[in-house]
Amino acid sequence: MKNEFKQLLDKRQKSYIEDAGRIPSAVLIPIYENNNTYHIVFIKRTETVKTHQGQISFPGGVREKEDNSLLDTALRESNEEIGLDIKDVEILGELDDEITTTSNFIVTPYVGIISWPYEFVKNTDEVDEILNVPIPALLEKGCLRPDTEILNGQKVESCAYHYEGKVIWGATARILNKLLDIITPTAGE
């Protein structure tokens, strides 16, 4: 299945966003297989972080000067936030850039496979909770719902995922939606 995910990600054309007025950032979408079901790892941010307080997101953050690439950013931030060791991630591909509507970021998402079980180490200054969400639950009827966001003062159509009382919205939901559209043919197998 891992190879199928990689092939599906490789055969598509990535869409880049160029905007010098936005801050480059990157996230990692950690995926693992447990009992023949693939799961995605999300984090719920603390209320004390600088941006996106209390929101559910993928591990990641702003590109720092020491990062040689945005992939380095995603891996460094994943290590800082949830203790995911860089050597434990196999990168399968990259998704389209996405912009945030509540902050000024361009987000570059990377998809990676990790082994399970994994002993995460939560950075309690940044991460309130680590969520392991099975992909089939995200594909269930009623999980994906329409949403509206405000971008540059204008309403834009978006989406949100509702899972066990938690809402995944904004750039994270849009990135997740693109990923699921790509891997859905194999996700339920």
**Digit-coded pLDDT (tens) for 114-150:** 999 999 999 999 999 999 999 999 999 999 999 988 8
> Average pLDDT for residues 154-178, to the nearest whole number?
93
Domains of the chain: 2-136 (3.90.79.10)
Residues 4-19 pLDDT 10s? 999 999 988 899 999 9
3-state secondary structure 120-161: CCCCCCCEEEEEEEEHHHHCCCCCEEEEEEEECCEEEEEEEE
The per-residue pLDDT for range 88-114, each reduced to its tens digit, is 999 999 999 999 887 889 999 999 999
75 burial (CB, 10 Å; 0-12 / 13-18 / 19+) is buried
Q: What is the β-pairing status of strands 105-113 and 90-94?
A: antiparallel
What pLDDT digit, counting tens, does each position of 14-54 carry? 999 999 999 999 999 999 999 999 999 999 999 786 766 67
Mean pLDDT of 55-79: 97
- Percent of the chain exceeding pLDDT 90 equals 78
Supply the mean pLDDT for the chain: 92
Residue 101 pLDDT: 83
pLDDT on residue 149: 85
Residue 139 contacts residue 186 (beta carbons within 8 Å): no
DSSP 97: -
